Amino acid sequence: MSQSPPDMQRRLLGDFLRDRRQRLDPVQLGLPLGSRRRTRGLRREEVAMLSGISATWYTWMEQGREIAVSPHALARLATALSLSRAERAYLFQLAGRHDPDAGAAAPDPAAERIALLRRTVAAITAPAYAMDHRYRMLAWNGAAEGLFTGWLDRPADPPPNMLRFLFLDPAARMLVVDWQQRCQRVLAELRADYSLHLADAELADLLAALQAGSRDFATGWKQAAVQGREGGERAFNHPTQGLLRFQQLTFALETQPGHRLVVLHPV
């Protein structure tokens, strides 16, 4: 029995979604592999989570069922699947919807990478955050908000800065175990990268403000210690959960020089 054009269109859409889902690498998206992952690519539930749509609706789309999906939901799905411009147009064509971004200016690759970074951080279950070379927080997840309570869980404009928190916020001295030693390590790591950004006026202004506002920063910065990022154990005196210990892993992002992803695995 031959299929009607709408049925064939929905079947093609389901095949296309399944193919693109199976091509994605969960490791690159920061998703845990787990011992039960036996198929390649992402699970349907993971695509639904990354695109902010119902897992049931996404499953029905792959199955070719007759459902109505909004253009904005399709746009989020296109981003979650990392579709090219041609693939995105094909998605909207098969879904019979108008792309809300059609005819807009070409997307900024750097902005797209930051958006992907934010989705990746959000998918990590352990406390995780991403920073640029000025220690400006680019992304963090709910677990990080819960750990850095009183800082990341409150609105901030401009975006929060780890250096400002450590040296200018009194709450940091209470939260971070061995605060003095930890700050000395952060300064040594900052110094190791500083030579790469000597022409950065915004970084220079930040360092001047920290030297003026924190005697500890000014003294430590004059010592000119240099140290690479090696991770290791980090401990926090959480105001409600007590002593928390983590193993810190720091990843450099090759697509964004100077940016890094930090993950704190509970001990």
Dihedral pair phi/psi, residue 145, rounded to 5°: -60, -40
pLDDT tens digits for range 40-68: 788 888 888 888 888 898 999 899 888 88
**Rounded Cα distance, 6 and 61, in Å:** 13
**Rounded Cα distance, 46 and 66, in Å:** 22
| Selection from 98, 88, 106 nearest residue 51 by Cα | 88
Q: Which residues of the chain have pLDDT under 70?
A: 1-4, 27, 29-39, 103-110, 156-157
pLDDT at 105: 46
**Rounded Cα distance, 143 and 163, in Å:** 20
Is 196 strand, coil or helix?
Answer: helix
CA angle, residues 147, 149, 154, in degrees to nearest 5: 130
Q: 103 — alpha (psi -120 to 50), left (phi > 0) or beta?
A: left
**Rounded Cα distance, 214 and 205, in Å:** 14
pLDDT at 1: 45
pLDDT at 107: 54
| Selection from 35, 44, 40, 4 nearest residue 25 by Cα | 40
Q: 160 — alpha (psi -120 to 50), left (phi > 0) or beta?
A: beta
Report in angstroms the alpha-carbon separations of 129 from 14, 143, 162, 221, 243. Answer: 34, 9, 11, 25, 20
Dihedral pair phi/psi, residue 178, rounded to 5°: 55, 50
